[in-house]
Amino acid sequence: MLPAAASALERGEPAALMTIVRASGSTPQRTGAKMLVYADGRTVGTIGGGCYENDALGKAREAIATGRPVLVRYDLNDDFAQESGLICGGQMEVYIDPIAPAPRLYIIGAGHVGFHLARVAADSGFRVHVVDDREKFANTERFPSADAIIVEDIADWLHRAELPANAYVVVVTRGHTHDFDALRALAARDLRYLGLIGSRAKVARVFDALAAEGMPAECLSRVHAPIGLDIGAITPAEIAVSILAELIAVRHGKDVSAVSLKWHRAPGSRVHRFTGSQVQDAENR
């Protein structure tokens, strides 16, 4: 079981490990029995079968989605036995522990904010990928902790790249054109997190231009922009910290709406509304 869990982590595939941590009376499996559940419902091993295993499987998939472990208790009484066909009469507790691989963070733009973000994100357990079209900025000397450094035309690479659904993507390029092209390639994708740096005026212009091209409002509403939590950040290093704080909050399933700088648009309206007060006309060059 543990080799299967280790293999899932190596592949970057989230899963949950279920373990019977207590069993008393007559139960289908003993304490210590394990079962691995993948996000798509595939399983390895068993904790005894029947409807309680199906129930635990559903809770395991929920744990994978939320990232939160859970302890589930089952009383295998007469009513349960009649429903499941299992004649047991015991009690058991199942601990469900989500095992998430280190999340991939794609930093689109290797300027000042990207430089600081890569360093602190790697220290916080993210697998950093840096994308920029300038080798002078995107190189191993500046990003020694990066898992990958891609030096290509940003828009071309993003249109070709197959990013996993659990990826975090931060757009911090050096100019409006690159930001627009990056967001055009990313906004409609299913990603765990997508954020765009910039002042409120800049974000409004980018979003209006994308909406004019036909980008659905629901896609734009998922973008975190201006990016980061509202901590009053000013310097590139401080802005990087505010971005990382938001990434960590999202990673752990926290609601950041009250403290984020997220852009909002009223449905069917061109009116922009923002929370927070941070200005990000940052030096990203």
Position 245 confidence tier, pLDDT thresholds 50, 70, 90:
very high
Token duo for residue 52 = 């309680």
Per-residue pLDDT at 164:
86
Radius of gyration from C-alpha coordinates of the chain: 23
Domain boundaries, the chain: 2-99, 104-274
- CATH top-level class for 104-274? alpha beta
Q: Which residues contact 44 (CB under 8 A, 6 or more apart)?
A: 1, 4, 35, 36
**Percent residues over pLDDT 90 in the chain:** 58
pLDDT of 122? 96
What integer best gives the mean pLDDT of the chain?
85
Instruction: Tell whether pTM > 0.85.
Output: no
Helix (H) or strand (E) holding 168: strand 168-171
